[in-house]
Every structure is written in structure tokens, then in C-alpha cells.
């Protein structure tokens, strides 16, 4: 990646904080032993891992014994869902939402083929849930409710504790994919209704390949990876010690910066959003305008393709993301935006900008400067400017191929 690029794709992944790298380095060079070994090596490593566990627990407001290190957010989600079902073999119903990350959604889809019943809660135009629909879906047969804290595409934040209270009334387990919320929203598992919570290192300035799963004490847990006794029998496999040390340091920094960084990011994000809305016609924000992550804005630009905007931004050294995943040449619109019922004219032209604590005023100014021209140029190339019907017809032709 260009060194001087303007990186506004932090919901996809983040850069490793230099302090995180510094903390990890000794564990990639001198301290290469196995933390389970009985010699001094093992003792030193175990101490480092213990400190990291305390740092992660502090960020989540949990006890260190409730933290299980994993390889990534995807593993945490998989492990939590499987554990909840194995612990309650008589219950065959799962509740989730239509807008989850594939790490939850595709597990649920597979479980449907294995005799489980899955309810996919809908969202409204703002991407928000209807708690009455949740209430109506909960039964004595519901083993698990698995709902994300904040959406990676739109930043919409769900009322997790209100959801949790309803889940608890029905005796189901409550798992939360908090990969996007950790470090952006203050968390306290001690006063929470959450039974299990997933987080991932590379979304909070630790490296890829490390994550953690919070498992409330007393929740019956069955390991997903079976083998040795690591992580108190909850996750087999020799510990990724450098990764764990990095995650611990990253967690410490997130907690240290949370208040001031999120305030700053919100201000920058709001300025970016408001200026783009004011200077570019025919665009709107996707997601809940108030219940939203401070670092994320997802904006729909009518009559143009998000991919074309991304390519133009890339020429200016700006990295953002489109709401849609480009699969084998056919442009498949995002399942999140589709679930929100976005009109076809905006569905394909949505861009996500996601900030982090390194984002500067000057970088936001640069985006504000180039975006209106990019959109104008692309729209001038589109024969369907302000022509919803024409755009719709063209899209249905494209998608039928």
C-alpha cells in the first residue's frame, strides 16, 4: 500500500499501532518458547500472556478468566454459536438478524441444513431492529440469540442491553459479535446481559490472526477446536503468543484513547458527512442517524456505481469501501443495504468511509475536496442522471447476465 495513502477503510482492517508492534517484537525473537513448557522460558511467556489477558479483560470490563484467545473474529463467532448449541442439545432454534457479518450469517445458514430453525430478524430503512419482532420470535425452544453490536457496513448500533433483557426472560443464551464495537463503545461485561462476546485484533490496531471471545463465568462452554488443554480447555492449540501480546497492548491503547479518540472521530466524520451532503446532490446517509458508530459513514450516491467511485478515489490515494461485494464480475449489492430496503438507484452507489484515531483533519479535507468532482464526472458519463426508471431498467439488464 502507498505509504501516504488516506486510509478510510478502518472497518475492514486497521494498521498495527507502532506500540503494539514494539510490544510483540521480543516474542517473535527472544521469547520463542511454548507457554505450556515447564522451563523458565514457559514461565516468562505465561506471564506475558497473563498481562495481555488482563488488558483485554479491562477493555471489556470482564474478569481475565472469562477471556479466551482465538485466531480471529470469525473463529469467535463460530465457537460461540457451536458452544451455545452443544450446551443445550434439546433446543433447536436460533435468532439472528439479516444484517450480520458472514461469520455469523453463513454459520446459521449451514445450521439450517442440519435441522436447526433460524429466525433472521429484519431491519428498517435506518438499519434498526424491531424489538417486537424479536419478542415474538423468542420461544422456550430458542437456544441462542446472536446479534451484532454494531454493523460493519453502516455503523448502526443495536440496543444490545434492551435485547439482552428480553433474551434472558426466555432463558436463551446471548452472543454478541462486537468486532466493530470494541474500542468504539465503552463496554462493561460486569453489568451486561451478554453471555458471549466476540472481538478481533485487526479491527483495533493489533495484527490479523488474533482475536478473543468473552465467555461469562457459569456459561456452559464446549470448545470449537479440540486438542490440548490451552485456554483452560476452551480453545486447543499452542497459543499465538506474539499475537496475544499484541492484542493485549492494542486493548490497553483502545481503553486509553476511547473517550478522546471517539469524540475526535465523530467530529471529523460529521464534518465529512455534512459537507458531502451539502455539496453533492442526490445523496443520502445509510444507517441510523443517531445510534451509530462514531467512525463510520455510509453514503449512497444515486445513479452511479460504487466501484467506479472507489477507483476514482484510489487515483487520489484515498482508500474507502463500497457497500457491495464484487463477486466474479457480477456486482452483487450488499446484503445489509438490501435488507434495509434501499432503492435500487442508491443500492449500487454506496460508499463507506471508516475513520480511526490516526485520521487527520487534512485527510478529511482532501476527501471533501475531490468527492464532488468525482461524482459529477461519473454522473455525466451516466445516461441515467436523474432518471430512476432508466437506471432501473439498465440495472436489471446488467444483473440478468
Ligand X SMILES: *Cc1c(COP(=O)(O)O)cnc(C)c1O
Q: Which residues are catalytic, by number?
A: 326
Q: Is 196 in the site for ligand X (CB under 6 A)?
A: no
Q: Which of 91, 203, 234, 292 forms a contact with ligand X (CB under 6 A)?
A: 203
Q: Are 367 and 318 in contact (CB under 8 A)?
A: yes
CB of 395 to ligand X, least distance (A): 28
CA distance 100 to 160: 14
Paired with 129 in beta bridges are 123
Q: Which is nearer to ligand X, 145 or 378 (CB)?
A: 145
Q: Is 72 in the site for ligand X (CB under 6 A)?
A: yes
Neighbours of 164 (CB within 10 A): 18
Q: Which residue is at the shortest CB distance from ligand X?
A: 73
Task: Give the range of 175-183, 225-233, 356-364, 371-379 binding ligand X by CB under 6 A.
Answer: 175-183
Q: Which is nearer to ligand X, 11 or 55 (CB)?
A: 11
Alpha-carbon 23 to chain mean position: 25
284: left (phi > 0), else alpha (psi -120 to 50), else beta? beta
CA distance 180 to 261: 15
Q: Which of 97, 156, 192, 200 forms a contact with ligand X (CB under 6 A)?
A: 200
Q: Is 179 in the site for ligand X (CB under 6 A)?
A: yes
339-398: contacts with ligand X (CB under 6 A): none
312: CB partners within 8 A, 6+ apart? 374, 377, 378
Q: Which of 91, 101, 235, 264 forms a contact with ligand X (CB under 6 A)?
A: 101
CB of 110 to ligand X, least distance (A): 16
Q: Is 292 in the site for ligand X (CB under 6 A)?
A: no
8-state DSSP, 96: E
| Residue found by looking up cell 484515531 in the block | 357
CA distance 273 to 267: 10
CA distance 222 to 10: 32
Rounded (5°) CA angle 13-14-20:
135
CB of 56 to ligand X, least distance (A): 14
230: CB partners within 8 A, 6+ apart? 36, 236, 237, 238, 239
Task: Give the range of 17-25, 173-181, 250-258, 369-377 binding ligand X by CB under 6 A.
Answer: 173-181
Q: Which is nearer to ligand X, 177 or 363 (CB)?
A: 177
Q: Is 73 in the site for ligand X (CB under 6 A)?
A: yes
CB of 100 to ligand X, least distance (A): 8
Paired with 330 in beta bridges are 327
What x/- string results for residues 134 through 153 when contact with ligand X is judged by CB under 6 A? --------------x---x-
Q: Is 103 in the site for ligand X (CB under 6 A)?
A: yes
| Site residues (vs ligand X, CB under 6 A) | 72-74, 101, 103, 148, 152, 177, 179-180, 200, 202-203, 211
Amino acid at each position: 500500500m502507498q505509504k501516504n495513502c488516506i486510509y478510510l477503510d478502518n472497518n475492514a482492517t486497521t494498521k498495527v499501532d507502532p506500540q503494539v508492534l514494539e510490544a510483540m517484537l521480543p516474542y517473535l525473537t527472544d521469547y520463542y518458547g511454548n507457554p505450556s513448557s515447564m522451563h523458565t522460558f514457559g514461565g516468562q511467556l505465561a506471564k506475558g500472556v497473563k498481562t495481555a489477558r488482563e488488558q483485554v479483560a479491562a477493555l471489556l470490563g470482564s474478569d481475565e478468566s472469562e477471556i479466551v484467545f482465538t485466531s480471529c473474529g470469525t473463529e469467535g463467532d463460530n465457537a460461540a454459536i457451536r458452544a451455545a448449541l452443544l450446551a443445550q442439545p434439546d433446543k433447536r432454534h436460533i435468532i439472528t438478524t439479516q444484517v450480520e457479518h458472514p461469520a455469523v450469517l453463513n454459520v446459521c445458514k449451514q445450521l439450517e441444513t442440519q435441522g436447526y430453525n433460524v429466525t433472521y430478524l429484519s431491519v428498517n430503512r435506518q438499519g434498526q431492529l424491531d424489538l417486537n419482532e424479536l419478542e415474538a420470535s423468542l420461544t422456550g425452544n430458542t437456544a441462542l440469540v446472536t446479534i451484532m453490536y454494531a454493523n460493519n457496513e453502516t455503523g448502526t448500533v443495536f440496543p444490545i442491553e434492551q435485547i439482552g433483557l428480553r433474551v434472558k426472560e426466555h432463558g436463551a443464551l446471548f452472543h454478541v459479535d462486537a468486532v466493530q464495537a470494541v474500542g468504539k463503545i465503552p463496554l462493561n461485561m460486569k453489568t451486561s446481559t451478554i453471555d458471549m462476546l466476540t472481538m478481533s485484533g485487526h479491527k483495533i490496531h493489533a495484527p490479523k490472526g488474533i482475536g478473543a471471545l468473552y465467555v461469562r463465568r457459569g456459561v456452559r462452554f464446549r470448545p470449537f477446536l479440540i486438542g490440548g488443554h490451552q485456554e483452560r480447555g476452551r480453545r486447543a492449540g499452542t497459543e499465538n503468543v506474539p499475537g496475544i501480546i499484541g492484542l493485549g497492548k492494542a486493548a490497553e491503547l483502545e481503553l486509553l484513547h476511547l473517550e478522546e479518540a471517539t469524540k475526535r472521530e465523530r467530529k471529523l466524520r460529521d464534518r465529512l458527512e455534512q459537507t458531502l451532503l451539502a455539496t453533492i446532490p442526490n445523496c443520502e446517509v445509510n444507517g441510523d442517524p443517531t445510534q451509530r458508530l462514531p467512525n463510520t459513514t455510509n453514503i449512497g450516491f444515486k445513479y452511479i456505481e460504487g466501484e467506479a467511485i472507489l477507483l476514482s478515489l484510489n487515483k487520489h490515494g484515498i482508500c474507502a469501501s463500497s457497500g457491495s461485494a464484487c463477486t466474479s464480475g457480477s456486482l452483487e449489492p450488499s446484503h445489509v443495504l438490501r435488507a434495509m430496503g434501499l432503492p435500487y438507484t442508491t443500492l449500487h452507489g454506496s460508499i463507506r468511509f471508516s475513520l480511526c484515531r490516526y485520521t487527520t483533519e487534512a485527510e478529511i479535507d482532501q476527501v471533501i475536496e475531490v468527492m464532488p468532482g468525482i461524482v459529477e464526472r461519473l454522473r455525466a458519463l451516466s445516461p441515467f442522471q436523474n432518471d430512476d426508471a432508466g437506471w432501473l431498467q439498465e440495472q436489471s439488464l446488467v444483473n440478468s447476465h
